[in-house]
Chain A
Amino acid sequence: MPETVQPFVSLTGATKTFGGITVLKAVDFDVRPGEVHALLGENGAGKSTLIKIISGLYVPDGGTIRIGGETVTLSSTRDASRRGIATVYQELLLFPEMTIAENIFLGNYPKTAWGGIDWPEARRRARALLDSLDSPELDIDRKVASLSVAQRQRVEIAKALSRDARVLIMDEPTASLAEADVQRLMEVVRALRQRGVGIIYVSHRMPEIFALADRVTVLRDGELIGTRDIGEVTEATLVAMMVGRSIDQLFPKPEPIIGETLLEVENLVSGKLVKGLSFSVRKGEILGIAGLVGSGRTETALTLFGITPAESGRIRIAGKEVTIRSPREARDLGIAYVPEDRGLQGLVKSMTIRQNVSMASIDRLSRGIFIRFAEEAARAVNAVKRFGIRARAGIEQPVGQLSGGNQQKVVIAKWLETAPRILILDEPTRGVDVGAKSEIHAIMGELARTGVAIIMISSELPEVLGMSDRVLVMNNGHLVSIIDRADANAESVGAAMTVAKKSKDAA
């Protein structure tokens, strides 16, 4: 970036306080036209607050905002959007029952001379916008409900562009995308940069940041740690800036103590994606399950956990044959499941940390039917301490207000309260920041050493390779191979996944 380019948006000394707690302390931040400015920080570092100030959702308590050199106050998102700032949110805000064209121009329709909506013009412009985003396959008359997440995202971007956005804020745009879609999104971002749009890019994924960003700003605990050109930093320096210490080991896996076989599964069948699976897990072992999206990994977990009970096959725990027809039965057999979708399946967001931590073990925590509240609170306090859950209001804070990493720790704490023998973790570090991620990995290693059998499903190959004692590769509901830690590497596991893919296509 040439130094002479004037920033389009700049914040000076932005400060924001909620109920006496300062979540953003005198932060300076700017975006130039035609640059990708990555915003980094652990969850709770103040990224969201900063974004919300720029997009007009929050009014800062201190500091100034300048847009195009002019000092302004943004009192609403409408205000911000009129000044050329648009946001693509993590949860996409489109109307599923309306068509793509309707969504793009909602509230901003081109008008005819008579004041009605100029539909031919709207459709023509919608088409042109999508074509410019390299999405000729999207039919503008399709309902948004029928689109994939990646496609909806492109519609959102088109919507932003339809309002002549000069600055586009993208909040974890790749969090829920598959690899191919990520590549495509990155192309789109590059194209936008070419057009002179300034992009604020929030992401946890380092490879993306190094592939896209021109500059990086790191926040920690609401404070600006620094803004650097991407050429000046490495992944290690960024991580150190984010967590305030250097993380010496990415996957802290202690030497495993592997005991006797605990869980044996034979010819497990359930639904369309679990087709005759056989495997076993031993005490103290971490079994990683790798596979592409839709290969039946989560479905296998749901079968073992009793959500979708097995239609046939045998499950043995410690040599004893069992049937599992509900999560309750699974729990009573010592199986715990930390689900893929934290917000929907893992937590009751409106309830407090205390109530969530005790949720799976509430029967044990009760005398008769009465909850022992003191015991419940003590255990929650313990969990907060043990897992380093960061919560402003302590155990009475609703978990919906916690960051992703802290939420995930609450889910794990909830299940450890049941003292499980078998722990199934489904994407345990998805949407979790770097610091919390290595903490979660450390917890897994520790648990395994106490003799818990762990099954870990993950789409992140480094995580699978780093944490697993054995790697089970699945495809299309079948087991492809089980690879020992010594032989497991990106090539062998990747090959198992791709070979399977080809054979599936041939079949």
Chain B
Amino acid sequence: MIKRILRHETILALLTVIVLAILAYQSDKFFTVDNLLNQGRLMTEVGLVAVIMTFVIVTGGIDLSVGSIVGLTAILTGVFWKSLGLPLPLAAFAAIACGTFGGFMNGVIITRFKVPPLIATLATLALYRGLAEGISQARSVRGYPESFYVLGQGNMLGVPTQLWLLIITAIVAGVVLGYTRWGRTVYAIGSNEVAARFSGLPVDRAKLAVYTASGFAAAVAGVILVSRVSTTRSDMGTGLELDAITAVVLGGTSIFGGRGTVIGTLLGLILIQALKNGLSLAGIKGDGTIVLIGVVLILTILISNIVHRDGNR
């Protein structure tokens, strides 16, 4: 099984290298340290969400509400700070706590009331976005203090601040998924939830934890997004769930659960971001890029399926 996963990742890594090479050849602005670091900055919000989304999808679930949680957290950060007059760090933490609670509620709906994750999070996608719009009253919040921009626009040791966060998150997530009993539980749930329960694994607790973590990642992404674009609007993060899911699936995680790795997801993220950036540098319009990403997704999955079939027996 490990061999098979590696195989998908190897294919993806190769593909990523090829794409990077082509893009570098197409435009001399692409393969520069500045540009690459900047792309890393742009990738972080989706990246944080996608890394945790990997866990969600490996359990056989899905979390569609993450984009709305990003929006809700962004709005709450602004409201807590500007309207309630909390100090900005405290406002951000409070907003993250609320976003995390949103994820926790997803988990409760899914584990307690046995609502399928797709439906539960489709409902909270609407609910959380509605809350964000209601709270913001269509007003945006601006004028954050300079110090707040360190998170979204600043650098640490020459690397964008938030990229450090993504790197650390990815390492921790990769270790948890691959090397701990929690990760093993996540895989077992995705492969056969009934057998996992019959083996005494803490199925409901694990699912609750995974959806809560997903809410937390989305909330952190929301605060980073505010800091990066210097403003809050209620429609922030719209469609982000699909970008995250695309990266996860491109990374080889089975949408039916039981299979997937964090490394795969990271490769998926890098490939998508490189395509977006490289193609726009090469002068291709946005809709062309989306079409190409769709094609790459289908091709990768096809190739991987063919290889798996050969590897199987």
Mark contacts of A333-347 with chain B using CB atoms, 8 A cut-off: 1 yes-contact digit, 0 otherwise.
000010100001111
Does A414 reach chain B (CB closer than 8 Å)?
yes
Does B81 reach chain A (CB closer than 8 Å)?
no
A345 to B193, CA, bound (A): 9
Does B297 reach chain A (CB closer than 8 Å)?
no
Does B88 reach chain A (CB closer than 8 Å)?
no
In the complex, what residues of B have CB within 8 A of residue A475's CB?
none
In the complex, what residues of B have CB within 8 A of residue A328's CB?
200-202
Q: How far is the CB of B124 from chain A (nearest CB, A)?
A: 27
Whether A19 contacts B180 by the Cβ 8 Å rule is no
Whether A348 contacts B200 by the Cβ 8 Å rule is no
Whether A350 contacts B258 by the Cβ 8 Å rule is yes
In the complex, what residues of B have CB within 8 A of residue A365's CB?
181
Whether A398 contacts B181 by the Cβ 8 Å rule is no
Q: How far is the CB of A319 from chain B (nearest CB, A)?
A: 24
Does B199 reach chain A (CB closer than 8 Å)?
yes
Does B144 reach chain A (CB closer than 8 Å)?
no
Q: Taking A328-B200, A355-B184, A359-B188 as contacts, is the C-beta distance between A346 and B195 under 8 angstroms?
A: yes
Q: Taking A327-B199, A330-B200 as contacts, is the C-beta distance between A345 and B180 under 8 angstroms?
A: no
Whether B200 contacts A331 by the Cβ 8 Å rule is yes
In the complex, chain B residues 149-198 whose Cβ is within 8 Å of any chain A Cβ: 176, 179-182, 184-185, 187-188, 191-192, 194-198
Q: How far is the CB of A159 from chain B (nearest CB, A)?
A: 28
Whether B1 contacts A348 by the Cβ 8 Å rule is no
Whether A327 contacts B200 by the Cβ 8 Å rule is yes
Whether B201 contacts A362 by the Cβ 8 Å rule is yes
What residues of chain A have their CB less than 8 Å away from a CB belonging to chain B?
18-19, 305, 307, 326-328, 330-332, 337, 339, 344-352, 355, 359-360, 362-363, 365-366, 369-371, 373, 396, 398, 414, 418
In the complex, what residues of A have CB within 8 A of residue B201's CB?
328, 359, 362
Q: Taking A18-B313, A350-B258, A351-B188 as contacts, is the C-beta distance between A371 and B198 under 8 angstroms?
A: no
In the complex, what residues of A have CB within 8 A of residue B202's CB?
328
Closest residue on chain A to residue B178 by CB atoms: A371
Whether A344 contacts B195 by the Cβ 8 Å rule is yes
In the complex, what residues of B have CB within 8 A of residue A339's CB?
198
- Contact among A326, A346, A350, A362 for B184, CB-based, below 8 A: A362
Top-4 shortest CB links A-B: A331-B200, A369-B180, A359-B199, A348-B192
In the complex, what residues of A have CB within 8 A of residue B180's CB?
366, 369-371
30 cross-chain CB contacts under 8 A: A18-B313, A19-B313, A332-B200, A344-B195, A345-B198, A346-B195, A348-B191, A348-B195, A350-B1, A351-B1, A351-B188, A351-B191, A355-B188, A359-B184, A359-B195, A359-B196, A359-B199, A360-B199, A362-B181, A362-B184, A362-B185, A365-B181, A366-B180, A369-B180, A369-B181, A369-B182, A370-B179, A370-B180, A370-B181, A371-B184
Q: How far is the CB of A16 from chain B (nearest CB, A)?
A: 11
**Interface of chain B, main secondary structure:** helix
Whether A348 contacts B188 by the Cβ 8 Å rule is yes
Q: How far is the CB of A57 from chain B (nearest CB, A)?
A: 13
Whether A360 contacts B194 by the Cβ 8 Å rule is no
Whether B181 contacts A366 by the Cβ 8 Å rule is yes
Closest residue on chain B to residue A345 by CB atoms: B198
In the complex, what residues of A have CB within 8 A of residue B176's CB?
369
Q: How far is the CB of A499 from chain B (nearest CB, A)?
A: 34
A418 to B176, CA, bound (A): 23
- Contact among B182, B185, B192 for A347, CB-based, below 8 A: B192
Whether B198 contacts A337 by the Cβ 8 Å rule is yes
A326 to B198, CA, bound (A): 9
A398 to B180, CA, bound (A): 20
What residues of chain B have their CB less than 8 Å away from a CB belonging to chain A?
1, 176, 179-182, 184-185, 187-188, 191-192, 194-202, 258-259, 313
Q: How far is the CB of A397 from chain B (nearest CB, A)?
A: 10
Q: How far is the CB of B227 from chain A (nearest CB, A)?
A: 32
Whether A360 contacts B200 by the Cβ 8 Å rule is yes
Q: How far is the CB of A205 from chain B (nearest CB, A)?
A: 27
Given A351-B1, A359-B199, 7 more pairs with CB closer than 8 A: A307-B197, A328-B202, A355-B188, A362-B184, A369-B180, A373-B179, A418-B200
Q: How far is the CB of B207 from chain A (nearest CB, A)?
A: 14
In the complex, what residues of A have CB within 8 A of residue B196's CB?
348, 359
In the complex, what residues of A have CB within 8 A of residue B181's CB?
362-363, 365-366, 369-371
A307 to B182, CA, bound (A): 21
Whether A347 contacts B195 by the Cβ 8 Å rule is yes
In the complex, what residues of B have CB within 8 A of residue A371's CB?
179-181, 184
Closest residue on chain B to residue A363 by CB atoms: B181
Whether B197 contacts A327 by the Cβ 8 Å rule is yes
Closest residue on chain A to residue B196 by CB atoms: A348
Whether A344 contacts B179 by the Cβ 8 Å rule is no
- Contact among B1, B199, B258, B313 for A414, CB-based, below 8 A: B199
In the complex, what residues of A have CB within 8 A of residue B188's CB?
348, 351, 355, 359
Q: Taking A18-B313, A349-B192, A360-B199 as contacts, is the C-beta distance between A398 and B1 under 8 angstroms?
A: yes
A328 to B202, CA, bound (A): 7
Closest residue on chain B to residue A302 by CB atoms: B198
Most B Cβ at <10 Å: residue of A327, A331, A355, A398: A327
In the complex, what residues of A have CB within 8 A of residue B199's CB?
327, 359-360, 414
A360 to B184, CA, bound (A): 11
In the complex, what residues of B have CB within 8 A of residue A344's CB?
192, 194-195
In the complex, what residues of B have CB within 8 A of residue A359's CB?
184, 188, 195-196, 199, 201
In the complex, what residues of B have CB within 8 A of residue A352's CB?
1
A362 to B185, CA, bound (A): 9
Q: How far is the CB of B37 from chain A (nearest CB, A)?
A: 33
A11 to B26, CA, bound (A): 61
Q: Taking A369-B182, A398-B1 as contacts, is the C-beta distance between A307 and B191 under 8 angstroms?
A: no
Most B Cβ at <10 Å: residue of A307, A359, A371: A359
Q: Taking A19-B313, A331-B200 as contacts, is the C-beta distance between A345 and B195 under 8 angstroms?
A: yes
In the complex, what residues of B have CB within 8 A of residue A307's CB?
197-198
A327 to B197, CA, bound (A): 7
A331 to B197, CA, bound (A): 11
Closest residue on chain A to residue B176 by CB atoms: A369
A369 to B177, CA, bound (A): 11
In the complex, what residues of B have CB within 8 A of residue A346's CB?
195, 198
Closest residue on chain A to residue B201 by CB atoms: A359
Whether B194 contacts A350 by the Cβ 8 Å rule is no
Q: How far is the CB of B176 from chain A (nearest CB, A)?
A: 8
Most A Cβ at <10 Å: residue of B176, B181, B197, B258: B181
A99 to B179, CA, bound (A): 49
Q: How far is the CB of A297 from chain B (nearest CB, A)?
A: 17
Q: How far is the CB of B25 from chain A (nearest CB, A)?
A: 41
In the complex, what residues of A have CB within 8 A of residue B194's CB?
344-345
Q: How far is the CB of B4 from chain A (nearest CB, A)?
A: 10
Q: How far is the CB of B177 from chain A (nearest CB, A)?
A: 12
A162 to B143, CA, bound (A): 78
Closest residue on chain B to residue A369 by CB atoms: B180
A362 to B180, CA, bound (A): 9
In the complex, what residues of B have CB within 8 A of residue A349's CB?
191-192
Q: How far is the CB of A35 from chain B (nearest CB, A)?
A: 33
